[in-house]
Chain A
Amino acid sequence: MSLLFSKVSLGIFSFFCTSCQDVMVAALDLGMEKVIVAMQDPDMGVKMRNQRLLITVIPHAMTGRDIIEWLVHKYNICEEEALHLGVMLVGFSYIYPLKEPRLLVLRPDDSPYRFQTPYFWTSTRWPASELDYAIYLAKKNIRKQGQLMEYEKERYSLLHKRINHTWDFVVMQAREQLRASKQRRKADRIVLECQEQAYWLVNRPPIETWRRALGRNRVKSSICLEGFLKFSEQYQNHDPIMQGCLPSNPWISDDTALWTMNADTVPTPTRLRVERWGFSFMALLIDTMGRREFMIYLEKEFSAENLCFWQACEDIRHGESSKIVEKVDEIYKNFLAPAAACWVNIDSKTMTKTLEGIQRPHRFVMDDAQMHIYFLMKKDSYPRYLKSDLYKNMLARAIIPQETKKSVFPFMRRQRHSSPSPAKAATQEDGLVKGSELAGTSSAAV
């Protein structure tokens, strides 16, 4: 435990320097402040007592152990987390150590700690510094015409000695700030009103969006939520982080067999992969091999033109802008023209609209037709494919990989082989970079 905490604390400390500047922010501060305020609660807060530091007795102090125990108890967390949180609180100087004050770490033992005064909380308006404090005291001095508290008088003179070279500045700042605050008080009401007005002018409420939102169709919660449950359940066995994967997770075993077995094109796919084709139409189309199998099935059914049409439309949507016109032309010739070789069956309304749009071709001109064909395949061809012999045979033939045997020498790591970079593969072919690869290039997981 002590090793852990020293590693954590040193780690925190060494990086605190770069991080502290970056992390002292308001949203965080509110959270930390809540914790600190709760800790200082007279009834439910941390036990405070007079701590002995060498020969001095420090009042209102607590031990590191008390802090950890209180955090564990209050937030119902384990000691490791409480230590982590406590280290943060000390790191941001809401709590400071009395022994070895230069090292801002939290020790879960008898070391004494105290709460920082709110004036110096990182969240307060004043970026704390000696100068700041000097200005604050100077203002108070001017306002109260010399009637400062005893300890304040001491500090004032101490500061005067320490930063004497800036004292003119300090006094000037104090005077200016007092003047500004006086003026603010007079103009308060007007200023606040104007602030509000200016805010509303600059940040007009999104009324148009809200009007549209009222007209939306919404689905009952029970239906939607069941959907999430079903999805997560369906994919649970396919989730490597939750259930592991066969033959093994390459990151753990250093064996890339999993990736080899699930490459884009393999002679025989894995069982889980083929199962996924049955989860949803999109899952089938996204998988290169799945799409190819589906195409073979459609060819048997003499409806392959649907999938070809869909692919061509995808190509327009995601391809180069410069090629849109020629691609739309191709599609018309091959799929939509009256005597087209692969004529697709679209309802007349969509056909009319599409033909009109072709006069002025743009990226989304095929969208309606594409969607029509997509849902046609989804409702009709896809369910039949899943019941077909083609799919069932594929499922039966699919491999269930064997778990990778653990190495005989568990401490010896397997050699990690590199793989050809996708960049290299492309540039080798005609020196042209293959740009318009569609969504189907990614083979699915296990």
Chain B
Amino acid sequence: MFKNDFSTPTDLECSPTRDGGTQMHTVKVEQSHKLEHFSIRSLVTDNPPLCKTRLTSARTNKYLPDVRAHTRNIFSEECVRSTGAVMCDQTFVAVTFGPCESCAKTSPLMNIYIKTEPINYCSFCVEKMACQGLQAGESLASLKRESATLKKKLDEERNKLNDVELSKVAEKVETLSSLSIKTRRVLKGHNNKVLCMDWCKDKRRMVSSSQDGKVIVWDAFTLNKEHAMSLPCTWVMACAYAPSGCAVACGGLDNKCCVFPLSMDPNESPVTKKKLVAMHTNYLSACTFTNSDMQLLTSSGDGTCALWDVESGQLLQSFHGHTADTLSLDLAPSETGNTFVSGGCDKKANVWDMRSGQNIQSFENHQSDINCVKYYPSGDAFASASDDATCRFYDLRADREVAVYQKESIIFGASTVDFSLSGRLLFAGYNDYTINVWDVLKGNRISTMYGHENRVSRVRLSPDGTALCSASWDTTLRIWA
């Protein structure tokens, strides 16, 4: 279905309207909302309206119209229909004018957030408020100075033990030849973008979730669809298979994560027996069971991660530290099994202790949102994929980044990563529809896997390492081996 009409750059050299709406409609909305440019059509369809003010730079627009998603610079319908309430949460550039909420004068307003509450003050009132907010004895200058010196010291400490680079150490390892890996299965059944998938421990089943609210449990080997559920919320961004194989957990824009028991009884739909486990204040970006069906770990667009008891729905531990949406998490396969890593839009990857809720390590090397984090099979390292078109490898014992996987010809963001069983290969899915395979030790790209016709949203190795599954916005999942 061609949604966009590419009326060309002819004599006027105009590019098309981004959402394909006609000019007529665009105007109607604009008149109520001065600076926005999108049509009614895009407001009522599922596709995310590209909502930006003309005076702010375009920001990432991953997910959807929701009044609470302001941190991603996305605007809700309400916001659009009301007058003058346009926010730029990142640059705070004054883009609206109206009465100041503090002094009531009509002036260019600054829209800022205090603990996710938006307020519109004129610049003078913001200055007054800014000075009041500081603690006694603190000044902004002193805070800035302290954080700068600490950061510098931390980098020095990290570099002291840095006696050799990975590329040097890896010189003695033999070079890998190109990988002969092909698509072996194409799973068709979703009608919209597939956002997430997870393997079952039996090495052949998997669960996948998509933008239209459908969650399907497949036997990927036979291409059989064993269960299909329709969730009331669209954009099911996270799904996970329980270790026992008896349940799946999923959630997304509804800010919740529910556990659905799977039964082979055809009269029973998993939806009827669903159990609400996790509740966040923003969209659910990732979820995973810990070593049993009894505990669920989730991450959310509200910047927190949380550990839940499935039986009671109780919050066991919450993890605060990210200053923007948390997009991904992964459990450590280590002996003590007590840590996990999370990555977010604040460009940070944080390692957490599950018992105490403390942030034990933090890495800030990426230049843009971190979309995915995954542990190295030994548990001593992890990799991350980011919108800055690079993937990075971090050594947890040395506490530093040891490799960057990038190439000048790769300019699209990486959305997902996974290691092969030995940890030698890193599979990374990108927004240019390809999957690149990197040599983890030597740092070079071994091959590229073409096949998908839209963004790759998730790649996951099967539990026994025999196949890689990739989920894509082209509505299919592919099995490669």
Contacts and interface: CB of A to CB of B under 8 A. Distances in A.
Interface in B334-348: 334-337
A407 interface: no
Contact of B15 (A122, A223, A245, A417): A122
B291 A438 contact: yes
Interface-central residue, A23, A187, A209, A228, by most chain B CB under 10 Å: A228
Interface stretch (B231-239, B250-258, B280-288, B355-363): B355-363
Contact of A169 (B31, B146, B162, B432): B31
Nearest to B58: A26
Interface in A252-294: 252, 256, 258-259, 262, 281-282
B411 to A, nearest CB: 3
A436 to B, nearest CB: 5
B306 to A, nearest CB: 15
A93 interface: yes
A118 to B, nearest CB: 11
B103 to A, nearest CB: 14
Contacts of A51: none
Interface string B112-146: 11100000000110110111011000001001101
Interface in A291-337: 314, 317-322
Contacts of A130: 12, 14, 23
Contacts of B387: 25, 27-28
Contacts of B243: 437, 439, 441-442
A434 B244 contact: yes
Interface stretch (A192-200, A347-355, A384-392, A398-406): A192-200
Contact of B126 (A18, A194, A216, A239): A194
Given A133-B14, A220-B398, A423-B245, A437 B292 contact: yes
B314 A129 contact: no
B341 to A, nearest CB: 14
B263 A210 contact: no
A19 interface: yes
B314 to A, nearest CB: 7
Contacts of A419: 202, 204, 219, 221
A126 B243 CA distance: 49
Nearest to B153: A214
Contacts of A228: 166, 376, 378, 380-381, 395, 423, 440-441
Interface-central residue, B150, B337, B467, by most chain A CB under 10 Å: B150
B246 A422 contact: yes
B43 interface: no
A229 B169 contact: yes
Interface stretch (A31-39, A40-48, A58-66, A142-150): A31-39
A2 interface: no
Given A210-B154, A211-B150, A128 B15 contact: yes
A241 B368 contact: no
A383 interface: no
A367 B355 CA distance: 10
B409 interface: yes
Interface in B363-405: 368-369, 376-378, 380-381, 387-389, 395, 397-400, 402
B76 interface: no
Contacts of B126: 194, 197-198
Contact of B12 (A155, A216, A262, A371): A155
Contacts of B37: 127, 129, 131-132
B464 A435 contact: no
Contact of A198 (B92, B293, B334): B92
A206 B217 CA distance: 41
Nearest to B134: A201
Contact of A93 (B15, B292, B310): B15
B312 A322 contact: yes
B434 A198 contact: no
A111 to B, nearest CB: 15
Interface-central residue, A96, A133, A210, A241, by most chain B CB under 10 Å: A241
Contacts of B130: 194, 197-198, 201
B466 A240 contact: yes
B110 A198 contact: yes
A204 interface: yes
Interface string B143-179: 1101100110110011011111110011011001001
Interface residues of B, number: 186
A234 to B, nearest CB: 8
Contact of B27 (A88, A133, A166): A166
A242 B295 contact: no
A131 B92 contact: no
Contacts of B433: 12
- B interface secondary structure, majority: loop
A28 B411 contact: yes
B304 interface: no
B361 A213 contact: yes
Interface string B13-33: 111111110011011001100
A57 interface: no
Contacts of B54: 125-127, 132
A427 B244 CA distance: 12
A25 B481 contact: no
A178 to B, nearest CB: 13
B181 interface: yes
B301 interface: no
A436 B293 contact: yes
Contacts of B42: 21
Nearest to B362: A209
B294 A187 contact: no
Nearest to A442: B201
Contacts of B361: 213, 216
A367 B338 CA distance: 10
A441 B58 CA distance: 48
A290 B275 CA distance: 35
Given A200-B143, A213-B154, A173 B411 contact: no
A193 B127 contact: yes
Contact of A205 (B143, B395, B400, B432): B143
A232 B408 contact: no
Contacts of A27: 60, 368-369, 387-389, 413
A338 interface: no
A226 interface: yes
B104 to A, nearest CB: 17
Given A20-B18, A197-B127, A236 B422 contact: yes
Given A120-B15, A131-B27, A240-B466, A101 B8 contact: yes
A228 B166 CA distance: 9
A219 interface: yes
B292 A435 contact: yes
B421 interface: yes
B432 A88 contact: yes
Contact of B420 (A75, A241, A416): A241
Interface in A361-393: 363-364, 367, 371, 374
A223 B336 CA distance: 21
Given A318-B290, A421-B264, A31 B389 contact: yes
A423 B378 contact: no
A397 interface: no
Given A249-B467, A320-B311, A423 B10 contact: no
B161 A220 contact: yes
A102 B2 CA distance: 12
Given A198-B130, A434-B244, 15 more contacts: A27-B389, A127-B37, A129-B18, A180-B95, A183-B108, A197-B130, A198-B129, A225-B395, A231-B377, A242-B420, A318-B292, A320-B294, A374-B335, A437-B244, A442-B463
12 contacts: A15-B474, A18-B473, A25-B59, A26-B57, A158-B11, A224-B395, A224-B402, A242-B425, A282-B334, A421-B219, A436-B294, A439-B291
The 4 A-B pairs with the shortest beta carbon distances in the complex, nearest first, are: A422-B245, A31-B411, A205-B147, A235-B422
